[in-house]
Structure 1
Amino acid sequence: MFDRDTEGVRIELRSLTKHYPGQPAPAVDNVTLDIPAGELVVFVGPSGCGKTTTMKMINRLVEPTSGEILIGGQDVLSLDPDQLRRHIGYAIQQVGLFPHQTIAQNIGLVPNLLGWPADRISARVDELLSLVNLEPSAFRDRYPRQLSGGQQQRVGVARALAADPPVMLMDEPFGATDPITREHLQNEFVKLQKQLRKTIIFVTHDFEEAIKLGDRIAVLREGSHIAQYDTPAAILADPADEYVASFIGQDATLKRLALMRVSEVSATGSPAGSGLPQVSADASLREALDIMIAHGADRCATPSGVLTYAALCEAVGTRAGEQEDVVSSER
């Protein structure tokens, strides 16, 4: 079995195919893809394109018809499926918490199966609850029904991390939550991944979520054929074809703003006593633009100075005068 690590390992898919009996075409057709260690790669595409089937073949919830899967250089198809799954974190949209087990028991499920001693499991539960911003003393003895949907999703992520797997598979884990909760979970997960650097495959149909979370995005056609596989910035700047461009839509500039942080743009002057709206250094430029528009201002105060609308536009390679359509669409 591949070793656990605090960070991820490389995943290689080689000519991976899944053909269900009685179906005229493969659900997944000859997919070859390299996923670098420690990166979050998003599979995005329309319903039925094969993205979830491709992901499930990695932990063999779906058995491949042909092809190879290597994790950390090891052939997954040569391993015992149950043992394999205990070394891969898995989080899904429905969360899948056991209703008659406490939160601590749910999180400790895989470590218990792996034979960890009780004190080690207990310490790991407290560590993970703190990591996902749930106070251990308040939540470890509760039951899933006593938590909100967003809290249950956090527990689902904690359970996927419980045995410190190098690889995590996530199938639309935030899809069932309301928009505000979903954005909050996405923000927290971005911070979490920066700390942990697991290798994560994340399935979604939401291109904006893919841009926000992914180090790389695989835009998939039917049969999991790869239309484009690149960084979010590269896909936004140069979509491979009309199919990929259709996912981006008409607001590519706004999406590029979401990729950059306020701290990456030069601020001028002193914000002290300016009375300008405030924005944090780790906020995106899209959030900074939203704040400017909400306050009817063309600048805002950051921890390092004053960020202007002109500087924001320059950061994404445009001139302020060219962005009137962007501002109008935001309003």
Structure 2
Amino acid sequence: MFDRDPAGVRIELRGLTKHYPGQPAPAVDNVNLDIPAGELVVFVGPSGCGKTTTMKMINRLVEPTSGEIRIGGEDVLNLHPDELRRHIGYAIQQVGLFPHLTVGENVALVPKLLGWPAAKVADRVEELLSLVNLEPGAYHDRYPRQLSGGQQQRVGVARALAADPPVMLMDEPFGATDPITREHLQSEFAKLQKKLRKTIIFVTHDFEEAITLGDRIAVLRERSHIAQYDTPANILAAPADDYVAGFIGQDATLKRLALLTVDDVPAVGPVPSSNGLPRVDAGTSLREALDTMVAHGSDRCATPSGVLTYTALCEAVGTDGAKTGHEEVAAGDR
């Protein structure tokens, strides 16, 4: 089966359609999409556009009317739905933890269904709780009602990862949390995905969340018609039409500053050890680098690979540095 490679497998959707009986138009109409192995692809679009229905057809919680779904080259419509779902992680906004089971028992559900030895299950539960920053000794025997909303979401992610599936489906998994907790969970999950490299389809209506997490974003119209499918940076730089531009909003430059890092921009180097320039670390966002320049009244800063200039920073986000002052580009921070 396709789960022989837990690091992630390719997903192909061909002509995928869902037409509910009695409805004049299909809920999902002829979706064609290629999702590379090991990437997190975000489906973003307004409520009712079909993004959740499209995702649910992949693990056959919703059966397609027509079309083809291949995971790791295998036609999943030839598999028994229950067997298929045991090999795909699934996390949703409502979390869906069983209230009568402890945290450890919730995480252990799928490995037990797959017949794992008890010792292997116990080790996996402990490993995953540590992975999502829930100390096993403190949380293993607690019940869901004893956890905060953010902690419950982490348990939901751990349970989705329990059998080490190559594919994960996530439907607004952080949507029920407050903004601060949500941002923290997004950051933690992004770091986790860098380690695991699962193939993940992540549904959201929040474009900010999409650009924070996605390797690629599929912007969906009504009936899951794809308005644009590309990397966050490319969508921000060149939205396909006014519909996509509407999702981005008025602050595309600020979003690109937050998305790109100093590692993405060619630097002039090497950096002298004592050049008096403000310094930033590798991985620092361009927005943070710009803040550092402004705070020090400088038009450049030192990075581990050289000197980042204000002009190069502006070119990277598609802003004319010769015409735009520091204050204008940084105005979104005020």
Same fold (TM over 0.5): yes
Q: How far apart, CA to CA, are the structure 1 residues paired with 2:200 and 2:95?
A: 17
Q: How far apart, CA to CA, are the structure 1 residues paired with 2:105 and 2:292?
A: 42
Q: How far apart, CA to CA, are the structure 2 residues paired with 1:330 and 1:29?
A: 41
Are 2:333 and 1:330 equivalent residues in the alignment? yes
Whether the aligned pair in 1 keeps the contact of 2:237 and 2:318 (CA below 8 Å) is: no
Whether the aligned pair in 2 keeps the contact of 1:4 and 1:164 (CA below 8 Å) is: no
- Supply the RMSD in Å over aligned alpha carbons: 2.4
Whether the aligned pair in 2 keeps the contact of 1:219 and 1:244 (CA below 8 Å) is: yes
Unaligned runs of 5+ in 2: none
SS of residue in 1 equivalent to 2:62: coil
Q: Which deviates more from structure 2 when the two are superposed, residues 144-153 or residues 161-170?
A: 144-153
Whether the aligned pair in 2 keeps the contact of 1:271 and 1:301 (CA below 8 Å) is: no
Q: Which deviates more from structure 2 when the two are superposed, residues 227-236 or residues 284-293?
A: 284-293
Q: How far apart, CA to CA, are the structure 2 residues paired with 1:81 and 1:281?
A: 45
The answer for the alignment partner of 2:285 in structure 1 is: 284
Q: How far apart, CA to CA, are the structure 2 residues paired with 1:267 and 1:143?
A: 55
The answer for the alignment partner of 1:258 in structure 2 is: 258
The answer for the alignment partner of 2:100 in structure 1 is: 100
Are 2:322 and 1:315 equivalent residues in the alignment? no
C-alpha offsets along residues 33-86 of structure 1, whole Å, 9 cap, x if unaligned?
A: 111111111101111000000000000111111111111111111111111110
Q: Which deviates more from structure 2 when the two are superposed, residues 186-195 or residues 40-49?
A: 186-195
The answer for the alignment partner of 1:134 in structure 2 is: 134
Give 1:283 shift: 3.3
Q: How far apart, CA to CA, are the structure 2 residues paired with 1:301 and 1:150?
A: 37
Q: Structure 1 residues 290, 132: closer, same or farther in 2, change over 3 A?
A: farther
SS of residue in 2 equivalent to 1:3: helix
Q: How far apart, CA to CA, are the structure 2 residues paired with 1:301 and 1:149?
A: 41
Q: Structure 1 residues 184, 322: closer, same or farther in 2, change over 3 A?
A: farther
Q: Structure 1 residues 102, 215: closer, same or farther in 2, change over 3 A?
A: same
C-alpha offsets along residues 282-316 of structure 1, whole Å, 9 cap, x if unaligned?
A: 332234445666x5755777667776655532432
Q: Structure 1 residues 291, 25: closer, same or farther in 2, change over 3 A?
A: farther
C-alpha offsets along residues 102-155 of structure 1, whole Å, 9 cap, x if unaligned?
A: 111111110011111111011001111111122121211111122221121111
Letter in 2 for 1:133: N
Q: Structure 1 residues 102, 291: closer, same or farther in 2, change over 3 A?
A: farther
Letter in 1 for 2:186: Q
SS of residue in 2 equivalent to 1:70: strand
Letter in 2 for 1:17: T
Q: How far apart, CA to CA, are the structure 2 residues paired with 1:12 and 1:220?
A: 17
Q: Which deviates more from structure 2 when the two are superposed, residues 52-61 or residues 72-81?
A: 72-81
Q: Equivalent residues in 2 for 1:1-331 (5 A)?
A: 1-265=1-265, 266=267, 280-289=281-290, 298=298, 309-324=310-325, 325-331=328-334
Letter in 1 for 2:330: V
Q: How far apart, CA to CA, are the structure 1 residues paired with 2:293 and 2:148?
A: 33
Q: Structure 1 residues 227, 296: closer, same or farther in 2, change over 3 A?
A: same
Q: How far apart, CA to CA, are the structure 1 residues paired with 2:134 and 2:268?
A: 35
Q: Structure 1 residues 183, 302: closer, same or farther in 2, change over 3 A?
A: farther
Q: How far apart, CA to CA, are the structure 1 residues paired with 2:134 and 2:119?
A: 20
Give 1:227 shift: 0.8
SS of residue in 2 equivalent to 1:194: helix
Q: How far apart, CA to CA, are the structure 1 residues paired with 2:146 and 2:275?
A: 45
Whether the aligned pair in 2 keeps the contact of 1:5 and 1:164 (CA below 8 Å) is: no
Q: Percent identity between the aligned chains? A: 78
Whether the aligned pair in 2 keeps the contact of 1:40 and 1:198 (CA below 8 Å) is: yes
Whether the aligned pair in 1 keeps the contact of 2:107 and 2:159 (CA below 8 Å) is: yes
Give 1:189 shift: 1.1
TM-score, structure 1 length as denominator?
A: 0.90
Whether the aligned pair in 1 keeps the contact of 2:12 and 2:70 (CA below 8 Å) is: yes
TM-score, structure 2 length as denominator?
A: 0.90
Unaligned runs of 5+ in 1: none
